[in-house]
Structure 1
Amino acid sequence: MSSHEYQFNVAMSCSGCSGAVNRVLNKLEGVSDVKITLDDQKVIVKTAENVSYDTVLAQIKKSGKEVRSGEVVA
């Protein structure tokens, strides 16, 4: 099964922020892995093939955090 990997730069100032992002992403069906690095404010999301970049972006925005940038890695 094919998958996608997306990387986002998200404004997060504390572990509570990264926890909120992690929670909303893990609620999204098709997300297989979430890696969050608070130091460089990076969120890497691996998803099933049917989950689009826009879907993941919208889900991160539900956490109330500002998404500064994002890209499709794979």
Structure 2
Amino acid sequence: MAEHTYKFDVKMTCSGCSGAITRVLEKAKPDGVSEFTVNLDTQEVLVKSSLPYDDILARIKKTGKEVRSGVTVE
């Protein structure tokens, strides 16, 4: 399955917020997430994955954080 890169604008106010997203994406690695970065300063989450966009979005939303926008970069 082809890998895609997704970019999400997620409202994160502290290291606890970014930590929650990091944990949920770390758990998704066996399912098809190959790499990710969570940047608290820019409120940006980049995910490289073979999973569908909606699957990654749902996992991030499960943390309770507000996802303001998301796009498929490639």
> Secondary structure of the equivalent of 1:26?
helix
Structure 1: where are the runs of 5+ without partners? none
**Structure-1-length-normalised TM-score:** 0.91
Post-superposition CA distance 1:29-71 (Å, at most 9, x none): 10011101111100000012xx100000000001110000000
Alpha-carbon separation, structure 2, partners of 1:70 and 1:2: 19
Alpha-carbon separation, structure 1, partners of 2:71 and 2:27: 21
Residue number in structure 2 paired with 1:30? 32
Number of aligned positions between the proteins: 72
Q: Percent identity?
A: 57
**Structure-2-length-normalised TM-score:** 0.91
Which stretches of structure 1, 4 residues or longer, exceed 2 Å deviation after superposition? none
Residue number in structure 2 paired with 1:70? 70
Alpha-carbon separation, structure 2, partners of 1:36 and 1:25: 10
Residue number in structure 1 paired with 2:44? 42
Q: Report the AA paired with residue 27 of structure 1.
A: K
